[in-house]
Structure 1
Amino acid sequence: MAKLFLNLRNVPADEADEVRDLLRANAIDFYETQPSPWGISSGGLWIEDTGQLARAKALMADYQALRRDRARSERATAEREGRAETFAGLLRDRPLYVVGVLAAMLFIVAVTLALPWLLL
Protein backbone atom coordinates (compact mmCIF):
# COMPACT_ATOMS: atom_id res chain seq x y z
CA MET A 1 0.00 0.00 0.00
CA ALA A 2 1.34 3.44 -0.90
CA LYS A 3 2.42 5.86 1.81
CA LEU A 4 2.22 9.65 1.71
CA PHE A 5 5.77 10.95 1.42
CA LEU A 6 5.30 14.68 0.92
CA ASN A 7 2.17 16.74 1.36
CA LEU A 8 2.40 19.53 -1.22
CA ARG A 9 0.54 22.15 0.82
CA ASN A 10 2.69 25.30 1.00
CA VAL A 11 5.58 23.62 -0.83
CA PRO A 12 7.25 25.92 -3.38
CA ALA A 13 7.20 24.64 -6.96
CA ASP A 14 10.99 24.53 -7.20
CA GLU A 15 11.23 22.38 -4.06
CA ALA A 16 8.56 19.97 -5.31
CA ASP A 17 10.41 19.67 -8.64
CA GLU A 18 13.70 18.99 -6.86
CA VAL A 19 12.10 16.28 -4.69
CA ARG A 20 10.57 14.65 -7.78
CA ASP A 21 13.98 14.70 -9.48
CA LEU A 22 15.60 13.27 -6.34
CA LEU A 23 13.16 10.35 -6.25
CA ARG A 24 13.57 9.68 -9.97
CA ALA A 25 17.38 9.83 -9.77
CA ASN A 26 17.38 7.25 -6.99
CA ALA A 27 14.89 4.94 -8.75
CA ILE A 28 12.22 5.30 -6.08
CA ASP A 29 8.77 4.66 -7.55
CA PHE A 30 6.23 7.33 -6.65
CA TYR A 31 3.11 8.92 -7.96
CA GLU A 32 1.56 12.32 -7.46
CA THR A 33 -1.98 13.30 -6.59
CA GLN A 34 -3.21 16.66 -7.79
CA PRO A 35 -4.79 19.28 -5.52
CA SER A 36 -8.56 19.37 -5.43
CA PRO A 37 -10.28 22.20 -7.31
CA TRP A 38 -11.98 23.37 -4.11
CA GLY A 39 -8.81 23.55 -2.02
CA ILE A 40 -9.77 20.71 0.31
CA SER A 41 -6.65 18.68 -0.42
CA SER A 42 -3.36 20.01 -1.70
CA GLY A 43 -2.01 16.95 -3.42
CA GLY A 44 1.01 14.94 -2.49
CA LEU A 45 3.82 12.64 -3.46
CA TRP A 46 3.22 9.00 -2.57
CA ILE A 47 5.81 6.22 -2.36
CA GLU A 48 4.41 3.09 -4.01
CA ASP A 49 6.69 0.53 -2.34
CA THR A 50 6.77 0.90 1.45
CA GLY A 51 10.11 -0.94 1.43
CA GLN A 52 11.65 2.11 -0.27
CA LEU A 53 10.14 4.55 2.22
CA ALA A 54 13.05 4.45 4.69
CA ARG A 55 15.58 5.13 1.92
CA ALA A 56 13.39 7.95 0.56
CA LYS A 57 13.17 9.53 4.03
CA ALA A 58 16.95 9.37 4.42
CA LEU A 59 17.42 11.01 1.01
CA MET A 60 14.84 13.66 1.95
CA ALA A 61 16.66 14.43 5.21
CA ASP A 62 19.91 14.97 3.29
CA TYR A 63 18.13 17.11 0.68
CA GLN A 64 16.47 19.27 3.34
CA ALA A 65 19.78 19.83 5.10
CA LEU A 66 21.34 20.98 1.81
CA ARG A 67 18.36 23.22 1.03
CA ARG A 68 18.48 24.73 4.54
CA ASP A 69 22.19 25.49 4.20
CA ARG A 70 21.64 27.02 0.76
CA ALA A 71 18.78 29.22 2.05
CA ARG A 72 20.84 30.39 5.02
CA SER A 73 23.74 31.20 2.72
CA GLU A 74 21.50 33.18 0.39
CA ARG A 75 20.00 35.06 3.34
CA ALA A 76 23.45 35.90 4.73
CA THR A 77 24.54 37.13 1.30
CA ALA A 78 21.41 39.28 1.00
CA GLU A 79 22.01 40.75 4.46
CA ARG A 80 25.64 41.57 3.60
CA GLU A 81 24.57 43.24 0.36
CA GLY A 82 21.67 45.10 1.99
CA ARG A 83 19.01 43.32 -0.08
CA ALA A 84 17.40 41.40 2.80
CA GLU A 85 13.86 42.35 3.77
CA THR A 86 13.67 44.08 7.15
CA PHE A 87 10.84 45.53 9.20
CA ALA A 88 12.08 49.06 8.53
CA GLY A 89 12.27 48.38 4.80
CA LEU A 90 8.77 46.90 4.76
CA LEU A 91 7.44 49.87 6.75
CA ARG A 92 9.07 52.25 4.26
CA ASP A 93 7.80 50.35 1.18
CA ARG A 94 4.28 49.43 2.39
CA PRO A 95 3.32 51.65 5.34
CA LEU A 96 -0.45 51.10 5.11
CA TYR A 97 -0.01 47.33 5.06
CA VAL A 98 2.28 47.35 8.11
CA VAL A 99 0.04 49.70 10.09
CA GLY A 100 -3.02 47.64 9.17
CA VAL A 101 -1.40 44.38 10.26
CA LEU A 102 -0.23 45.93 13.52
CA ALA A 103 -3.72 47.34 14.17
CA ALA A 104 -5.28 43.93 13.51
CA MET A 105 -2.81 42.30 15.89
CA LEU A 106 -3.58 44.83 18.61
CA PHE A 107 -7.32 44.34 18.07
CA ILE A 108 -7.00 40.58 18.41
CA VAL A 109 -4.94 40.91 21.59
CA ALA A 110 -7.42 43.42 23.04
CA VAL A 111 -10.42 41.21 22.29
CA THR A 112 -8.64 38.16 23.66
CA LEU A 113 -7.84 39.93 26.92
CA ALA A 114 -11.15 41.78 27.29
CA LEU A 115 -13.58 39.07 26.20
CA PRO A 116 -13.49 37.04 29.43
CA TRP A 117 -14.28 40.17 31.43
CA LEU A 118 -17.11 41.15 29.10
CA LEU A 119 -18.72 37.71 29.37
CA LEU A 120 -18.88 37.81 33.20
Structure 2
Amino acid sequence: MGALLLRLKNVPEDEYQEVCDLLDAHDLAYYETNAGFWGVGMAAIWLYDVDQLAKAQDLLNEYMQNRQMKMQADYEKALSNGEVRTLRSTFSQQPVTFVLYLLAIVGILALSVLPFLGLN
Protein backbone atom coordinates (compact mmCIF):
# COMPACT_ATOMS: atom_id res chain seq x y z
CA MET A 1 0.00 0.00 0.00
CA GLY A 2 1.21 3.51 -0.80
CA ALA A 3 2.12 6.30 1.57
CA LEU A 4 0.65 9.78 1.22
CA LEU A 5 3.35 12.33 0.51
CA LEU A 6 1.58 15.50 -0.61
CA ARG A 7 -2.03 16.59 -1.03
CA LEU A 8 -2.42 18.59 -4.23
CA LYS A 9 -5.40 20.73 -3.27
CA ASN A 10 -4.54 24.39 -4.01
CA VAL A 11 -1.00 23.49 -5.14
CA PRO A 12 0.17 25.67 -8.05
CA GLU A 13 1.13 23.89 -11.26
CA ASP A 14 4.77 25.01 -11.08
CA GLU A 15 5.15 23.69 -7.54
CA TYR A 16 3.55 20.39 -8.53
CA GLN A 17 5.95 20.02 -11.45
CA GLU A 18 8.97 20.88 -9.30
CA VAL A 19 7.97 18.27 -6.70
CA CYS A 20 7.59 15.62 -9.41
CA ASP A 21 11.00 16.57 -10.84
CA LEU A 22 12.52 16.35 -7.34
CA LEU A 23 11.08 12.89 -6.80
CA ASP A 24 12.28 11.76 -10.24
CA ALA A 25 15.77 13.13 -9.61
CA HIS A 26 16.08 11.08 -6.41
CA ASP A 27 14.61 7.90 -7.96
CA LEU A 28 11.58 7.83 -5.67
CA ALA A 29 8.73 5.86 -7.23
CA TYR A 30 5.42 7.66 -6.88
CA TYR A 31 1.95 7.82 -8.35
CA GLU A 32 -0.75 10.44 -8.43
CA THR A 33 -4.45 10.39 -7.71
CA ASN A 34 -6.92 13.06 -8.77
CA ALA A 35 -10.08 14.42 -7.24
CA GLY A 36 -12.21 12.86 -9.94
CA PHE A 37 -15.06 14.29 -11.94
CA TRP A 38 -17.20 15.23 -8.93
CA GLY A 39 -14.27 16.38 -6.78
CA VAL A 40 -14.90 13.83 -4.04
CA GLY A 41 -11.54 12.06 -4.38
CA MET A 42 -8.22 13.28 -3.07
CA ALA A 43 -5.70 14.76 -5.47
CA ALA A 44 -2.36 13.70 -4.05
CA ILE A 45 1.10 12.31 -4.67
CA TRP A 46 1.72 8.92 -3.10
CA LEU A 47 4.89 6.86 -2.72
CA TYR A 48 4.85 3.21 -3.72
CA ASP A 49 7.40 2.27 -1.06
CA VAL A 50 6.51 3.22 2.51
CA ASP A 51 10.16 2.77 3.54
CA GLN A 52 11.12 5.76 1.35
CA LEU A 53 8.65 8.08 3.08
CA ALA A 54 11.15 9.57 5.57
CA LYS A 55 13.64 10.36 2.79
CA ALA A 56 10.92 11.87 0.61
CA GLN A 57 9.57 13.99 3.46
CA ASP A 58 13.05 15.32 4.22
CA LEU A 59 13.51 16.25 0.55
CA LEU A 60 10.07 17.84 0.43
CA ASN A 61 10.66 19.85 3.62
CA GLU A 62 13.96 21.17 2.27
CA TYR A 63 12.29 22.04 -1.05
CA MET A 64 9.43 23.84 0.73
CA GLN A 65 11.82 25.91 2.83
CA ASN A 66 13.79 26.92 -0.27
CA ARG A 67 10.60 27.73 -2.15
CA GLN A 68 9.29 29.82 0.74
CA MET A 69 12.50 31.87 0.86
CA LYS A 70 12.42 32.34 -2.94
CA MET A 71 8.76 33.41 -2.96
CA GLN A 72 9.36 35.81 -0.06
CA ALA A 73 12.32 37.35 -1.88
CA ASP A 74 10.26 37.67 -5.08
CA TYR A 75 7.46 39.36 -3.12
CA GLU A 76 9.86 41.79 -1.43
CA LYS A 77 11.39 42.64 -4.82
CA ALA A 78 7.96 43.21 -6.39
CA LEU A 79 6.91 45.31 -3.39
CA SER A 80 9.99 47.51 -3.68
CA ASN A 81 9.39 47.90 -7.44
CA GLY A 82 5.77 48.89 -6.85
CA GLU A 83 4.41 45.88 -8.74
CA VAL A 84 2.32 44.50 -5.86
CA ARG A 85 -1.35 45.46 -5.82
CA THR A 86 -2.32 47.00 -2.49
CA LEU A 87 -5.32 48.98 -1.30
CA ARG A 88 -3.37 52.18 -1.78
CA SER A 89 -2.33 51.31 -5.34
CA THR A 90 -5.88 50.21 -6.20
CA PHE A 91 -7.29 53.47 -4.88
CA SER A 92 -4.72 55.53 -6.76
CA GLN A 93 -5.39 53.68 -10.03
CA GLN A 94 -9.20 53.52 -9.82
CA PRO A 95 -10.52 55.92 -7.16
CA VAL A 96 -14.13 56.05 -8.37
CA THR A 97 -14.50 52.28 -8.61
CA PHE A 98 -12.80 51.84 -5.24
CA VAL A 99 -15.18 54.25 -3.52
CA LEU A 100 -18.24 52.68 -5.18
CA TYR A 101 -17.22 49.21 -4.03
CA LEU A 102 -16.54 50.54 -0.55
CA LEU A 103 -19.99 52.16 -0.41
CA ALA A 104 -21.61 48.94 -1.63
CA ILE A 105 -19.85 46.96 1.09
CA VAL A 106 -20.88 49.42 3.79
CA GLY A 107 -24.48 49.41 2.49
CA ILE A 108 -24.71 45.62 2.50
CA LEU A 109 -23.24 45.45 5.99
CA ALA A 110 -25.67 48.09 7.23
CA LEU A 111 -28.66 46.23 5.76
CA SER A 112 -27.42 43.01 7.33
CA VAL A 113 -26.81 44.40 10.81
CA LEU A 114 -29.64 46.92 11.26
CA PRO A 115 -32.41 44.36 11.98
CA PHE A 116 -30.35 42.92 14.83
CA LEU A 117 -29.73 46.32 16.36
CA GLY A 118 -33.39 47.29 16.28
CA LEU A 119 -32.68 50.50 14.37
CA ASN A 120 -35.04 49.78 11.49
Mapping of residues 55-66 of structure 1, within 5 Å: 55-66=55-66
**Runs of 4+ residues deviating >6 angstroms:** none
1:7/1:97 CA distance change after superposition, 3 Å: farther
Mapping of residues 90-101 of structure 1, within 5 Å: 90-91=90-91, 92-93=93-94, 95=98, 99=102
**1:34 Cα deviation (Å)?**
2.2
d(CA) in 2 for partners of 1:99, 1:22: 45
> What amino acid sits opposite 1:64 in the alignment?
M
> What amino acid sits opposite 2:67 in the alignment?
R
- The answer to whether 1:79 aligns with 2:79 is yes
Give the fraction of aligned pairs with identical amino acids, expressed as a percent: 29
Aligned to 1:52: 52
CA deviation profile, 1:31-86 (whole Å, cap 9, x unmatched)? 01123111223411001101000000000010001100100110110111111121
Question: Which 5+ residue runs of structure 1 have no aligned equivalent?
Answer: none
TM-score (norm. length: structure 2): 0.77
Higher Cα radius of gyration: 2
Aligned to 2:38: 38
1:54/1:98 CA distance change after superposition, 3 Å: farther
Question: Which 5+ residue runs of structure 2 have no aligned equivalent?
Answer: none
1:89/1:98 CA distance change after superposition, 3 Å: farther
